[in-house]
Chain A
Amino acid sequence: MSSTAPQRRPATVRSRFAPHLDGAALDRARLAVVPRLRSRAPRVPFVMLVSVLLLTGVVGLLLFNTSMQQASFTASRLEDESKVLAAREQALTTELDRLRNPDRLAALACKQGMVVGPPAAFIDLTTGRVTGVPAPAEAGPCLGTPPAPASKVRR
C-alpha cells in the first residue's frame, strides 16, 4: 500500500511544473522509501533475563530476610548468654569481694599468729636521720570479734 502513493504523486507534479522533463530523469530524481530493516532479535533471552533477575531478587530478598531473622535469633541467644556470663562474673566478683573483706582477712591472719604492725621508725635517705621509736611486734590477742559466718544466699 505504501508503494502506490509515491508512484502516483510524481506524475501529478511533473504534469504541473515540469512537463518537459523526460521519464528517465524523473525516475532518477524520484524519492523512494527505504525498505524498513526489520530486526528479528529473539525474545526468549530477554524474558529469561528479566525472569532470572526477578527470581534472584525475590530469592535474595527472602534469603536476606531469613538471614536477618537468623541473625536476630543469634543476637537474642548471644544476649542471653552474655547476660548469664555477666551474672556469673558478678557472682565471682562478689565472692572475691567477700573473700577480701578485712574482717575475714584479719581473722585468717590472726589464726596464723600475725598482729597489727608495731610502731615503726623512718629513715630520711638524704640526711640519714632516723625518726620514730621502732618496737618489735608482740604476739597478742586478736582484734575484735571473728566475723559472723557469711551466708551465701540472701533473702
Chain B
Amino acid sequence: MFIAMILSLFAARLVQLQGVDPGQYAAMAAAEGKISVVLPAERGDIVDRNGQPLADSIDGLMVVADPSLTEAKAAALAGFLSRRLDLDYFTTLKRLRMPDSRFQYIARQVPAAHARDVVDAARDKGFVGIFTRDDPVRVYPAGSIGANLLGFLGTPRKNGAARPSAGLELAFNGYLSGHDGEARYQVGATGSQIPLGDNTVDPARDGSRLTLTLDRDLQWYCQQVLADAVRNARGDSGTVIVGDSRTGEILCLADYPTYDASRPDLSPENLYGSRALSDAYEPGSVEKTLTMASLIDAGKVTDTTRFKVPSVLLRQDRPIHDYFEHGTLRLTLAGILAKSSNIGTVMAADKFDRGQLRSYLTRFGLGSRTGVGIGGESPGILPDGSMWTSQTADRIAFGQSLSVNALQMWAAVNTIANGGERVDPSLVKGTATLADGTEVGSGVAQRRRVVSEDAARQTSEMMERVIDPEAGVAPGAAVPGYRVAGKTGTAQRVVDGVYDGSFTVSFAGFAPADDPRFTAYVVVHNPRNGGGGGSVGGPAFSKIMGYTLRRYAVAPTGTPPSRLPVEW
C-alpha cells in the first residue's frame, strides 16, 4: 500500500514534467551552464583623404566598484584610484563608500590596457571590490582638427550603445556603428567553453569606415591661419573653406572658435557644430562675381562693357552709395568688379530680364542646402515672389538682402573656377549612407552647367584685376608667382533680425586663375579693427592658397596675368 502511494507520487510528478510543461523544463535544463555573450561590433573609423585617423575606436573598460567590499579601505583605495585614473578624490571616495549599493561607476571609457593595469595593481596592493567591464572608447587623435565637422561620441548609454553628439558622428551614426553579434555556448564550472557543447555564433558586423575628402595637415593649417586672422582682426568668429576646383572635394573646412573633440566637456555646446554650414549670413560683394558671370552668360554685357558710374545712384526708396567716395567714374565691367562698385553693379544688373538673376542664383546653388551630409545645414535665404522687389533685386545684385552658408557660397564661386559648371561640394570621399538612406559623397556629386565656359573665363579674368595692386582692392590676396582670381566681400550683418552696424568680411578666390586647381573662401564675422574683405580675408587667403598650391606641388602656369582695362 505504502509502495503504491509512493509510486503514485512519482507518476504524478512524471505527468507534470512530461505532460504539463515539457518545453519549459527542457529550456531550463539547457540554460543551466549556457551563457550568451554580446560580440560588440567595432565602430568604423573616420579618416582623412590620406588615411590619417580623425576618429578611432579602441577597446575600453569601465572601472566599477562594489561599495560593500570597498568600504573598509575606501580612503586608501580612493587615493590610489584618483592618482592612477586621474579622478577627483572626493567623488571617488563618496562612491566607494556609497551605502546600500553593490555597484558604482568609478571611471568610464578608460583605454583597456590602462584600466587592466590599474585594477591589477589595486589587487596586488590587497584592495578588493574593484572590477572592469567593457566600455568602448572613441578617440580623436587629431584633437581639435576638423572637430566641428566630426562631432564626437558622448558617454555611452546604459545599454552600451554609442551616443553621437554632433557632426558626422551623428549624421552617419548608422553607417559607422554596424551591428552587434551574439555568441551562445555552454561553459564549465570555471567559465571556459565546453568544447563539444552546443554553441552558436552570430558574428558581429563591424561599422564601415568613413573616408573624408579633408586633408588633415591642410585642415590644421587652415585652422591656425583662420584663428590668427580672426584674433588679429578682433573678430567674433570665422570660416575657411578650401576645395578642389574640379571635383568639389573639400580639403579643409575650418571654423573658429573651435573645440577639442577629445575633451568636449571643456567647451560650451554652441561650439560643437560647424557654423560654416549652420549659419546663414549676407555674402556681400563676393556675390558680385555671380551677378557678373550671369550677366555675361545672358549676353547682356562683356568684361569690357563701359559704364559711367556716378557718385551716388538714386533709386526707388533710397540712394545707393559706394564704400568709397568718388566723383563720376568711367569704369568697364572689369573695373566695377575690381573696385567693387555697388553703383556700377546695380547699373549692370538693370540689364537683366525680369527673374533672370534669381534663376541664375538658384542654379548657382543659393537658397538650397549643399547636402554634404551634415545635419542642421542652413539653406540660406534667396527671396522669391513678393519678397523679390526691385529694391531687393538691387541689393541682391551686390550681395545684400540674401543670405548663404559658407559652403554654398564656396560652391557658387567654384562654379566660375570650374569653367561655369557647378559641382556639388563633398566632404565624404566615395559614398556613405545617411540615416534616411541618402547616399552622399564625391561618388555621387552632381554637375550642372550654370554659365558658359566663356562667361566663366571672362569673369575669372575680371576677378584677377581685384588682386592687382593698382586696379584692384585686394593686393594682399596675391600669391607670389601665381595668377590668382578673387573677390572681396564686406557686408552688413543681421543680428537678431536687424543690421546692427557690424560687418562680415570675406574673400573668395581660386588659383591658378587660368587653370584653377583650388578654390578658397575666407570669412570673418564682426572684425573690430575696421578691416574689410581685402585687408582681413586677403592675407589669410594668400597664405592658405600658397600653402595648398605648394603642398600639392602645383606649378605656376607661367602665363601673363590679365590686363583687362578697368577704366576708359
Question: Which residues of B are at the interface with A, using a C-beta cutoff of 8 A?
Answer: 53, 56, 58-59, 85-87, 107-114, 116, 137, 139, 141-145, 188, 190-196, 216-217, 220-221, 223-225, 227-228, 260, 262-263, 266, 479-482, 546-547, 550, 553, 555-558
Q: Is A97 positioned at the interface, with any CB of B under 8 Å from its CB?
A: yes
A144 to B196, CA, bound (A): 62
Query: Which range holds the interface residue count of chain A?
Result: 35 or more
Of all chain A residues, the one with the shortest Cβ separation from B265 is A155
Is A152's CB under 8 angstroms from B141's CB?
Answer: no
Question: Which residues of A are at the interface with B, using a C-beta cutoff of 8 A?
Answer: 68-69, 71-73, 75-76, 83-84, 86-88, 90-91, 93-94, 97-98, 100-103, 106, 116-117, 119-122, 124, 129, 131-133, 135, 143-145, 147-148, 150-155
Closest chain B CB from A24 CB (angstroms): 78
Is B221's CB under 8 angstroms from A116's CB?
Answer: yes
Which of B53, B85, B223 contacts A153, CB < 8 Å? B85
Is A153's CB under 8 angstroms from B59's CB?
Answer: no
Given contacts A91-B114, A144-B228, list 19 more A-B pairs with CB under 8 A.
Answer: A69-B192, A69-B195, A72-B193, A75-B192, A75-B193, A76-B191, A90-B58, A100-B141, A101-B142, A119-B481, A124-B555, A132-B482, A144-B224, A152-B86, A154-B110, A154-B262, A154-B263, A155-B86, A155-B87
What residues on B are CB-neighbors of A147 within 8 Å? 143-144
What residues on A are CB-neighbors of B108 within 8 Å? 155
Closest chain A CB from B277 CB (angstroms): 22
Closest chain B CB from A93 CB (angstroms): 8
Is B143's CB under 8 angstroms from A103's CB?
Answer: yes
What residues on B are CB-neighbors of A117 within 8 Å? 547, 550
Closest chain B CB from A128 CB (angstroms): 13
Closest chain B CB from A101 CB (angstroms): 6
Which of B113, B266, B546 contacts A119, CB < 8 Å? B546
Is B114's CB under 8 angstroms from A153's CB?
Answer: yes
A83 to B112, CA, bound (A): 9
Is A90's CB under 8 angstroms from B141's CB?
Answer: no
Closest chain A CB from B483 CB (angstroms): 11
Is A106's CB under 8 angstroms from B141's CB?
Answer: no
What residues on B are CB-neighbors of A72 within 8 Å? 192-195
Closest chain A CB from B119 CB (angstroms): 12
What residues on A are CB-neighbors of B143 within 8 Å? 101, 103, 147-148, 150
Closest chain B CB from A137 CB (angstroms): 12
A120 to B551, CA, bound (A): 11
Residue from A131, A147, A153 with most neighbouring chain B CB atoms (10 Å): A153
